[in-house]
Amino acid sequence: MNVLLIYPKFPDTFWSFTYALSFIGKKSAFPPLGLLTVAGLLPEAWSKRLVDMNVDNLTDKDLLWADMAFIGGMAVQRKSAMQIIRRCKSLNLKIVAGGPLFTSEPDEFAEVDHLILNEAELTLPAFLSDLEKGQLKKVYRASGFANLCDTPPPAWDLIKTKRYASMSIQFSRGCPFNCEFCNVTTLFGHWPRMKAPAQITTELDRIYASGWRSSIFFVDDNFIGNKTYLKTRLLPALIEWRKDKKGCVFFTEASINLADDPELLDLMARAGFDAVFIGIESPDEVSLTECHKTQNKNRDLLESVAIIHHAGLQVMGGFIVGFDSDAPSIFQRQVDFIQKSGIVTAMVGLLQAPPGTRLFDRLSRESRIVNTFSGDNVDGTTNILPRMGIDSLRAGYQSIMQQIYSPKNYYRRVRTLLMELKPPEITQPVNAQRFFSFFRSAFRLGVLGKERFQYWRLMIWTLAFKPRLMSVAITLSIYGHHYRKICERYIY
């Protein structure tokens, strides 16, 4: 059996880092971890190829080689996924599809021959069994959740790791919280399920053996969902793993209550974590109550962010406008909070309602779902009818983005972060690409860019006062270029 695994193309978004990748000679930010894991679940005797359309072109020769095409992806990849499906159908190639996009909206993909929904560890074996019997069904679903101890290592041999800016690894699935707008618990449940530490170090060994020494993204939706397990099992194993290793810094996603646990912060820094994405959402307590973001309430959010920065982890933040309780003042309040916090990577988006969430169900009952869910909350669109009116929401959103990503405010925020951030304990070794990225940034941002005054002012200040954070300053300057390009293309 010849199986072609196809990963759809991402549009240009904040998360694609399209305009930053050229500085470091990479083609894509992250590899298709889901499809690589699926490949590890397929029979060893099968011939497998993977085409990631973010780094390669999908040719008819690829499609004609295959007996079956496996397609995975997220909602933001919908357009590319539909194009792939049409190409496969035109060549009479059988299509098997799964992942968040297809699990959330299976009825939208009538042309797909077989839908492997929910977690592949549960549904793929049933598909393979039926394939052997010649009794395949259209849809395969699971009622429970997978035991991640049964998850095999991803098939890293199917990709060229050097094409990517970061590698990916997954430790857990599920989140203990219940945010109304989030579909994580719908897909993966409330109870965090973890891999054994030995599984993680085995996966890291394979990545390290490939020559990788750069960043590795723990893609968990809430890395700290089980703090006790982290502190007693995984983080000590990661600290031990890296004793004879160079490089390989980690970053992940977590909830703001990370700030409440100094021991956990210390262990994460010692294990090599230097950044964490946190859903801040809003500085308004009423909005947080509305969306059931209870972990963010009754705390000084600015202080929590500062605690995490002081521990050596840069906070990347998610923010949302468009809650029913949002008043016109929310737009400037968001700007003020972001600037004071030193959160440089501030992903501000309009509220959207993913299918399967409690928000989607509530707004459906109120006849306020008006468009297809795009999966991209920073492109200035939404699938809901907001209380404040769509024109007012878009104008306010545009105002936020114009302010926080203007060169003056952006570079001021970088400086605020660098003043608070403890230098990380583990750093990436300087390779040729990172070395030349400084010269590329110096020319493209410091000579040709509109931000050249702010760029050189930051470089000189960092060299004088925070020289150990120079690589962070350069990296964030490059990110700023990407964010402004996205804003200019889609928002301003």
pLDDT tens-digit profile of 24-65?
999 999 999 999 999 999 999 999 999 999 999 999 999 999
The CA-atom distances, in angstroms, between 248 and each of 12, 218, 224, 244 are 27, 12, 20, 12
Can you tell me the distance from the alpha carbon of 391 to that of 395, in angstroms, rounded to the nearest whole number?
6
Instruction: Specify the higher pLDDT residue, 430 or 146.
Output: 146
pTM: 0.96
Q: Which CATH number fits domain 166-420: 3.20.20.70, 3.40.50.300, 2.40.170.20, 3.30.479.30?
A: 3.20.20.70
Q: The tokens 């001021």 sit on which residue?
A: 412
Q: Are 140 and 126 in contact (CB under 8 A)?
A: yes
Can you tell me the distance from the alpha carbon of 391 to that of 402, in angstroms, rounded to the nearest whole number?
16
The three-class DSSP label of residue 487 is helix
Average pLDDT over residues 337-353: 97
Tell me, what amino acid is at 38? V
- Both tokens of residue 222? 């809430």
pLDDT over threshold 80, residue 431:
no
β-pair type (193-194, 172-173): antiparallel
Average pLDDT over residues 300-321: 98
pLDDT over threshold 90, residue 489:
no
Domain range list for the chain: 2-140, 166-420
pLDDT at 377 (0 to 100): 73
Q: The tokens 């700290």 sit on which residue?
A: 224
CATH no. of 2-140? 3.40.50.280
Tell me, what amino acid is at 234? L
Residues 6+ apart with CB under 8 A from 111: 85, 86, 89, 95
Reported as a pLDDT band with limits 50, 70 and 90, residue 379 is confident
pLDDT at 486 (0 to 100): 93
Nearest to 178 by CA among 168, 188, 170: 188
- Both tokens of residue 219? 């893609």
Can you tell me the distance from the alpha carbon of 277 to that of 261, in angstroms, rounded to the nearest whole number?
17
The three-class DSSP label of residue 73 is coil
pLDDT over threshold 90, residue 89:
yes
pLDDT at 428 (0 to 100): 78
The CA-atom distances, in angstroms, between 155 and each of 124, 125, 213, 476 are 16, 17, 19, 31
The three-class DSSP label of residue 428 is coil
Q: What is the pLDDT of residues 205-223, one digit of tens each?
A: 999 999 999 999 999 999 9
pLDDT at 153 (0 to 100): 97
Residue 28 DSSP code = B
